[in-house]
Amino acid sequence: MVIVVGAGLAGLVCALELQKQNIPCLLLESSARLGGRVGSLDQDHFKLDLGFQVLLDSYSTIFQYCRLDDLQPRYFDSGGIVWNFGKRFRFRSRPPDLSVLTTKAFSWTDKLRLALISAGLLCRSDHQILAQDDPVTVADYIAKFSAAAIEGFFRPFFGGVLLDNDLQSSSVLFRYYFKKFLIGRALIPAKGMQEIPEQLSRRIDQNRIRLQSEVISLRVKDARVREIELSTGELLSCEHLVLACSEPVSVKLLRGQANSQSNVERGGQASLSGPQVRPARRVSVMYWSSNVSLYPDKLLVLMAGRKRLIRHFVQITNVSPELAPDGVHLISATILGEPDRPGLVDDAESEICEVFPRARGKLEFLRSIQIPYGVPLQPPGRLFGELFRKPYQNVWLAGDQISYASTEGVARSGAAVAHDIARTF
């Protein structure tokens, strides 16, 4: 029996691939909901995603397991609306619209550099990009662009993608995502991001999924995990174990074993006495409804400037009207690193009204969703081509604790673990 801990996308894909290969498995999830950090909440007939998240149709692995058409994809237009302290620039980056060439958001030198970067990335595979050991940050990589391009486009857009306002993440990830946006289109499911884990789970034998089943400890003997203990006291035997949960949960379970008396001898395995949880990037998303449309485009609004409270926002019902009741508009704003505080909602609303004065007095606040562990830090020097790791002979780590933090990255990780386990059967 293979036990998979964590029913986020990595765990769901892993369980689905194991099932496809006729390998018995059990998927355990501590909460009452599937999907981990990918999901949606229902509130007053609105669908509110757990953060601003999109799929790209240029992803490949996730769509081996998730049927794109069944998600009823709703597409963004490629481009954006840049708000730069009193000036608004709208551009679309796909032919036949040539506004990306004429917009004043980029200088001609910026446009030339963008073209050169694009040409270079199109000549390289995803694997070649992700396997590169590059010590350069995003900020250093784009340093030769104009300040207007950095503050008006790169920081609000890629800062939001990476949840990194200072752009200190690895430039490898910048190049990877840049290519994916270049060749693909961003989309969301018509009924919210929760549709992705729900669709994956419907393809798994429901007898193999257990919700509200928290794993609290591992029982190790001779360098192998033999049993896991649930919070109910139940013990489950396992031949293989996949920790596809969040990094804090994996580290807690592994540190518990490293410090246990029964785990002094591990048959030559590397010491687990010091696994640490990497710092994470905090993100929150705020939602408002409005009976008045702020703008008509299926575009993200990018807030220029390093010190903006809102990194970007979008009238998400322009893309998917199904997320709100008929005739009502839903606005989603992404805020990086800011803990909840008095006045935060009013400050954020003021920034939206700065861009679209018609919104003043028309926005009705719905909810703020705080996500303290948005993504682990992804600094230069990490090997983003790595898809799993084995702390014990029969234990695999999967998900963004190993791979890069995106739906595609965690899906690839879950699939890679399942394929590696299949080689032992």
CATH of the domain at 26: 3.50.50.60
Q: Give the Cβ contact number of residue 335 at 10 Å.
A: 26
Alpha-carbon distance values, 96 to 78, 89, 93, 100, 315 (Å):
12, 18, 9, 11, 24
| pLDDT band per the 50, 70, 90 thresholds, residue 422 | very high
Q: Are residues 11 and 151 in the same domain?
A: no
Which of 183, 215, 243 delimits the end of a domain?
183
Tell me what the mean pLDDT of segment 5-11 comes to: 98
Q: How many domains, the chain? A: 3
Q: Are residues 220 and 253 in the same domain?
A: yes
d(CA 419, CA 267) in angstroms, rounded, equals 25
pLDDT at 412: 96
Q: Are residues 365 and 388 in the same domain?
A: no
Structure tokens, 207: 């007898």
pLDDT at 294: 98
Listed residue (310, 245, 282, 289) closest to 370, CA to CA: 282
d(CA 285, CA 49) in angstroms, rounded, equals 9
Q: Give the Cβ contact number of residue 240 at 10 Å.
A: 22
Which of 144, 159, 183 delimits the end of a domain?
183
> For the chain, what percent of residues have pLDDT higher than 70?
93
Q: Are residues 299 and 369 in the same domain?
A: yes
Assess if residue 115 is contained within a domain. Answer: yes
pLDDT at 265: 41
**Average predicted confidence (pLDDT) for the chain:** 92
Assess if residue 89 is contained within a domain. Answer: no
Q: Are residues 300 and 366 in the same domain?
A: yes
Half-sphere exposure of 223 (CA within 13 A, CB side): 11
* Beta carbons of 74 and 307 less than 8 angstroms apart: no
Residues composing the chain: 425
Give pLDDT tens digits for 404-420.
999 999 999 999 999 99
Q: Are residues 246 and 303 in the same domain?
A: no
Give pLDDT tens digits for 158-209.
999 999 999 999 999 999 999 999 999 999 999 999 999 999 999 999 999 9
Q: Are residues 219 and 353 in the same domain?
A: no
Alpha-carbon distance values, 50 to 195, 198, 238, 340 (Å):
12, 15, 32, 16
State yes or no: pLDDT of 92 exceeds 80: no
- Domain extent, residue 153, equals 100-183
* Beta carbons of 163 and 374 less than 8 angstroms apart: yes
Q: Are residues 163 and 229 in the same domain?
A: no
Assess if residue 329 is contained within a domain. Answer: yes
Q: Are residues 268 and 389 in the same domain?
A: yes
Assess if residue 91 is contained within a domain. Answer: no
Half-sphere exposure of 391 (CA within 13 A, CB side): 22
Tell me what the mean pLDDT of segment 331-354 comes to: 95
Half-sphere exposure of 214 (CA within 13 A, CB side): 8
Q: pTM here?
A: 0.92
Structure tokens, 113: 């550099």
Q: Are residues 172 and 297 in the same domain?
A: no
Q: Are residues 371 and 294 in the same domain?
A: yes
**CATH number of the domain residue 313 falls in:** 3.90.660.20
For β-strands 329-336 and 280-290, DSSP reports them as antiparallel
Tell me what the mean pLDDT of segment 301-307 comes to: 95
Assess if residue 389 is contained within a domain. Answer: yes
* Beta carbons of 414 and 244 less than 8 angstroms apart: yes
Which of 153, 183, 213 delimits the end of a domain?
183
Give pLDDT tens digits for 104-135.
668 899 999 999 999 999 999 999 999 988 89
3-state secondary structure of 415: helix
Q: Are residues 111 and 224 in the same domain?
A: no
Assess if residue 330 is contained within a domain. Answer: yes
Assess if residue 81 is contained within a domain. Answer: no
d(CA 183, CA 118) in angstroms, rounded, equals 10
Assess if residue 34 is contained within a domain. Answer: yes
Residue that is written with structure tokens 């575009």 in the block:
299
* One-letter-per-residue 3-state SS of 167-210: CCCEHHHHHHHHHHHHHCCEEEECCCCCHHHHHHHHCCCHHHEE
**DSSP one-letter code for 35:** B
* Beta carbons of 96 and 144 less than 8 angstroms apart: no
Residue 372's H or E segment, with its range, is strand 363-376
